[in-house]
């Protein structure tokens, strides 16, 4: 008689998944607040939706991942940092419109579920949510044998925040003469990793545990530096009205992200040398003999968030946020970014 087939025979262990889910529930509950109306495990997450302190609340949503930075996590066995990366990236994406986060959802897909790995990822997610005052409202962990290689996974994050309509930051008032301020990044954040891996591991022949004096750390540690959230730095200024525009410097670097917030007939000049370029970018540029424009459209080059403000407000912002560098200005033009 043919042995009865089970889901486990196909590579999906429901019991292991249930154990991981119980741990995830414990972690997620640490992010709950008084507006959380459902527990992890419900078919849908519920969040109380009244905003009595706002005249016209507008919900702002975004979704993103951390790209091939995950390959560094696989190679090093370090999984708790990429969860925080995921949350912070999504927080910054809605922050540029003046929105503060309300709740977050995650999706993790893997070939063979490792409860320890999944727990480590979700620990990072919950840490990121707590740091940003954001509820981890729900998510999905999918075990997909044969689709992902053993030990590998992919992940995505989904965030919802809120801003009062009259406080939306949309860049519409940006004008020639305005100033650009740059807030420093911690490293590559979550973009440019396909090129970075090629340069460090193929061109230079390094391993993740290779220590590089110029970086002061191993390659793996340098590439796993956490994507920063700028909510705590910018939060006190969101209601001030002095921020005309914000650009989160992600894929496309400074050259392609800043134009996303520029009105017609404006352009930007970025002044070289006006902020410290992190050593990791200098190492990569030398290793690949990479042209300057390619570096600036692939990597953040040490600037993770750009503020656009009136020249008369720049000193106040720089006094309140440190470090903060004046990196350029707005000129008349066709929504391009020039390096000067």
How many CB atoms are closer than 10 A to CB 55? 9
Contact between 302 and 184 under an 8 Å Cβ cutoff? The reply is yes
> In this structure, are 159 and 208 located in the same domain?
no
Among candidate residues 114, 132, 167, the one where a domain is terminated: 167
**In angstroms, what CA-CA distances link 184 with 228, 307, 323, 327?**
9, 12, 7, 11
Contact between 237 and 146 under an 8 Å Cβ cutoff? The reply is no
On whether residue 318 sits in a domain, the answer given is yes
> In this structure, are 102 and 153 located in the same domain?
yes
On whether residue 3 sits in a domain, the answer given is no
Q: Nearest CA to 296 among 326, 271, 318?
A: 271
On whether residue 243 sits in a domain, the answer given is yes
Query: What CATH number did the domain enclosing 97 receive?
Result: 3.30.1330.10
> In this structure, are 39 and 184 located in the same domain?
no
> In this structure, are 282 and 198 located in the same domain?
yes
On whether residue 172 sits in a domain, the answer given is no
How many CB atoms are closer than 10 A to CB 97? 20
pLDDT for the residue numbered 231: 98
> In this structure, are 278 and 155 located in the same domain?
no
On whether residue 242 sits in a domain, the answer given is yes
> The pTM is what?
0.93
> In this structure, are 41 and 134 located in the same domain?
yes
pLDDT for the residue numbered 17: 64
On whether residue 2 sits in a domain, the answer given is no
Domain containing residue 122? 8-167
Rounded to 5 degrees, what are φ and ψ at 201? -95, -30
How many CB atoms are closer than 10 A to CB 294? 14
Number of domains in the chain: 2
> In this structure, are 45 and 119 located in the same domain?
yes
pLDDT tens string, the chain, 340 residues long: the values are 555 545 555 556 556 666 777 888 899 999 999 999 999 888 999 999 999 999 999 999 999 999 999 999 999 999 999 999 999 999 999 999 999 999 999 999 999 888 899 999 999 999 999 999 999 999 999 999 889 988 899 999 999 999 999 999 999 999 999 999 999 999 999 999 999 999 999 999 999 999 999 999 999 999 999 999 999 999 999 999 999 999 999 999 999 999 999 999 999 999 999 999 999 999 999 999 999 999 999 999 999 999 999 999 999 999 999 999 999 999 999 999 999 9
- What's the CA gap between 146 and 158, in Å, rounded? 26
**Kind of pairing, strands 100-110 and 337-339?**
unpaired
> In this structure, are 160 and 206 located in the same domain?
no
Dihedral Cα 62, 237, 33, 130, nearest 10 deg: 70
Maximum separation of any 2 CA atoms in the chain, in Å? 84
Q: Is 274 exposed, middle or buried (0-12, 13-18, 19+ CB in 10 A)?
A: middle
Among candidate residues 110, 140, 167, the one where a domain is terminated: 167
> In this structure, are 204 and 259 located in the same domain?
yes
Among candidate residues 145, 167, 189, the one where a domain is terminated: 167
> In this structure, are 319 and 210 located in the same domain?
yes
Signed CA dihedral, 132, 234, 92, 305: sign only: negative
On whether residue 257 sits in a domain, the answer given is yes
pLDDT for the residue numbered 150: 85
Query: What CATH number did the domain enclosing 292 receive?
Result: 3.90.650.10
On whether residue 174 sits in a domain, the answer given is no
> In this structure, are 233 and 113 located in the same domain?
no
Helix axes 115-131, 80-95, angle to 10 degrees: 30
> In this structure, are 145 and 230 located in the same domain?
no
């Amino acid at each position: 008689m043919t042995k009865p087939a089970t889901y486990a025979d196909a590579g999906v262990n429901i019991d292991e998944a249930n154990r991981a889910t119980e741990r995830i529930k414990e972690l997620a509950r640490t992010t709950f607040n008084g507006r959380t109306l459902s527990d992890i495990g419900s078919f849908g997450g519920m969040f109380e939706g009244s905003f009595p302190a706002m005249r016209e609340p507008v919900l702002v949503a975004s979704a993103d991942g951390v790209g091939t930075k995950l390959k560094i996590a696989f190679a090093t066995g370090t999984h708790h940092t990429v969860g925080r990366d995921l949350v912070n990236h999504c927080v910054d994406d809605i922050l540029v419109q003046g929105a503060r986060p309300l709740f977050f959802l995650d999706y993790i897909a893997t070939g063979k579920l490792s409860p320890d790995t999944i727990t480590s990822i979700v620990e990072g997610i919950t840490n990121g949510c707590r740091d940003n005052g954001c509820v981890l409202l729900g998510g999905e962990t999918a075990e997909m044998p044969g689709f992902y290689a053993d030990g590998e996974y992919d992940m995505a994050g989904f965030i919802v925040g809120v801003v009062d309509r009259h406080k939306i930051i949309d860049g519409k008032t940006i004008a020639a003469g305005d100033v650009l301020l740059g807030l420093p990044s911690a490293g590559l954040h979550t973009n440019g990793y396909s090129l970075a891996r090629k340069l460090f591991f193929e061109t230079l022949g390094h391993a993740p545990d290779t220590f590089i004096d110029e970086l002061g750390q191993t390659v793996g540690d340098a590439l796993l530096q956490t994507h920063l959230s700028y909510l705590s730095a910018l939060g006190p200024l969101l209601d001030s009205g002095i921020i005309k525009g914000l650009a989160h410097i992600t894929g496309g670097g400074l050259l392609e992200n800043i134009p996303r917030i520029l009105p017609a007939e404006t352009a930007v000049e970025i002044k070289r040398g006006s902020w410290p370029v992190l050593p990791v970018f200098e190492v990569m540029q030398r290793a690949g003999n990479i042209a300057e424009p390619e570096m600036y459209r692939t990597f953040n080059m040490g600037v993770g968030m750009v503020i656009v403000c009136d020249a008369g407000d720049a000193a106040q912002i720089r006094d309140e946020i440190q470090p903060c560098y004046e990196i350029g200005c707005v000129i008349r033009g066709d929504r391009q970014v020039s390096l000067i």
